[in-house]
Structure 1
Amino acid sequence: MRFPVLLLLAVATSTLCTFAQEESEKHPIDSALDNCMDKNPSTHGMIGCLDAAYKKWDAELNKNYKALSANLKADQKAALLAAQRKWIEYRDLEFKAQNAIYATMEGTMYQPMAVSDRVEVIKKRALDLKGYLDLLEIK
């Protein structure tokens, strides 16, 4: 009886620690976005903040891609280049789909939501590339 209780307690503690760690390790771009949105809560202000975050995440993506590429062997670099080209194709199609969906929505709240979805696509790729780079640095 004590083992299941201890196991449940260990899992719950681990989950809480992970959540707390994620909250404390917010990326500086996300922190800047949050601060900007707090200062500019209008639709126009939020769109401006999200546009700035998009540009920063795109720059982060490019920085991570270049750093990763510089640390790869020729065959790895070729694989990364092929994947990046396909990802760009995916990104463009995803943006087209998002635009088609949000074009049918009425109301100003959907404008920042549309920009936020674009930011998330770029952010995910930037973080994926950073994750690969981090793996190489562990070796």
Structure 2
Amino acid sequence: MKKLVISLVVLIFALSCSKGSKENKTERISKVDSGNFTEVQASKNEKEKETQSQESSYSKGRNETKNQSNSFNVASNGNYTKELKAKMKKVEERLQSKLDSGVTSEMVNANDELYKAWDVELNKVYKLLMERLPNGEKEKLKNTQRAWVKNKEVKANEAAKEAEGGTLANVLYSGTIADLIKNRTIELAKMYDDLK
């Protein structure tokens, strides 16, 4: 599975490089021939624009999450998971073009943004569970969550090792972290839905 993901990412990267866009050429040239000031400067300007765009995109995503959370049903009527998935689908759709771009930095940044959005939701549902669970179950959930946090890092580092130190390591690490927190959040949401 991981080899398939690596192959797909490499294929996407190769396709994006073959498009021959000026921004990609400038970035590649600046890495190969850093002695040419104009090309390096152009690459820096493009990176600054990209960073500003990512920051505004992240702010937009946070505002979307805040606005949606106001209408989000906090009292479980068995639909918490369904509502959560619908809400987060919008965030995922907004970031999909970056995830498919084949540009390592865009993919990592999109995965990081997804991770942060899912982390907000994980903390919400965890808090809701802690408010409603009996004391013995609260302690069990705390211990399970601590173990999950430790295991999350181990799994992400293992995924990154598949790239053998290449630039895809960051993509694999951030993608694995984002997937793990998404799955854990949905797992906790289902647990919340099952409370009587």
TM-score of the pair, normalised by structure 1: 0.67
The aligned residue for residue 178 of structure 2 is 119
Alignment of 1:78-89 (within 5 A): 78-89=139-150
Is 2:156 the counterpart of 1:95? yes
Q: What letter matches 2:133 in structure 1?
A: L
CA contact (8 A) 2:156 2:174 kept: no
Corresponding residue to 2:121 among 60, 73, 76: 60
Q: What letter matches 1:116 in structure 2?
A: G
Matched residues, number: 111
CA contact (8 A) 1:61 1:122 kept: yes
1:132 counterpart SS class:
helix
Root-mean-square deviation (CA, aligned residues, Å) is: 2.4
Corresponding residue to 1:32 among 60, 83, 91: 91
TM-score of the pair, normalised by structure 2: 0.49
Structure 2 unaligned segments of length 5 or more: list them. Answer: 1-83
Q: What letter matches 2:193 in structure 1?
A: D
1:27-57 Cα shifts (integer Å, max 9, x gaps): 3323322222326735132322221111011
Q: What letter matches 2:106 in structure 1?
A: G
Tell me how far 1:129 sits from its aligned partner: 0.6
Structure 1 unaligned segments of length 5 or more: list them. Answer: 1-24
Structure 1 residues 78 and 109: alpha-carbon distance in aligned structure 2, compared to 1, 3 A threshold: closer
Alignment of 1:67-82 (within 5 A): 67-82=128-143
Tell me how far 1:76 sits from its aligned partner: 0.8
Q: What letter matches 1:50 in structure 2?
A: N
Distance 1:27 1:105 in 2: 36
Structure 1 residues 114 and 30: alpha-carbon distance in aligned structure 2, compared to 1, 3 A threshold: farther
Higher relative contact order structure (alpha carbons within 8 Å, sequence separation ≥ 6)? 1
1:75-96 Cα shifts (integer Å, max 9, x gaps): 1111111111111121122122
Structure 1 residues 34 and 112: alpha-carbon distance in aligned structure 2, compared to 1, 3 A threshold: farther
